[in-house]
């Protein structure tokens, strides 16, 4: 089956710093989504981004489908950005999740 790898696995930042999270996938996909799982376990959908670039406030995402990767940018990080970030790819009507990046932002 399709493999979805994320890097880095862990990231520690000071408030105000910028970061880039990467998602690589091993096969062509129909679409890609980014999620944030907060420290209480709730999953929030950040982006639906099968290709191109989208921005939402301090977050933006870029997917290059032909090269099978996606990037999530977090600018001016805040402590509330802490949690785990997952990318997930859709293939044959189901969403397959990546390995995740655990982000900790300290004041």
Partner 1 sequence: SAVISQKPSRDICQRGTSLTIQCQVDSQVTMMFWYRQQPGQSLTLIATANQGSEATYESGFVIDKFPISRPNLTFSTLTVSNMSPEDSSIYLCSADPGGRIYIEKLFFGSGTQLSVL
Closest CA to 21 of 99, 90, 89: 99
Nearer to partner 1, 29 or 74 (CB): 29
Closest CA to 46 of 87, 6, 5, 13: 87
The 50-89 site mask, x for binding partner 1 (CB under 8 A), equals ------------------------------------x-x-
Q: Is 5 in the site for partner 1 (CB under 8 A)?
A: no
Q: Is 90 in the site for partner 1 (CB under 8 A)?
A: yes
Task: Take residue 73 and report the two structure tokens written for it.
Answer: 């940018």
């Amino acid at each position: 089956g399709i493999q979805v790898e994320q890097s880095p696995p862990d990231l520690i930042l000071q408030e105000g710093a910028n970061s880039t999270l990467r998602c690589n996938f091993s096969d062509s996909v129909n679409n890609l989504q980014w999620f944030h799982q907060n420290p209480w376990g709730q999953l929030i959908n950040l982006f639906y981004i099968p290709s191109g670039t989208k921005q939402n406030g301090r977050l933006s995402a870029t997917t290059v489908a032909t090269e099978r990767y996606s990037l999530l940018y977090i600018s001016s990080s805040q402590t509330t950005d802490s949690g785990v970030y997952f990318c997930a790819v859709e293939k044959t009507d189901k969403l397959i999740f990546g390995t995740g990046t655990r982000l900790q932002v300290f004041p």
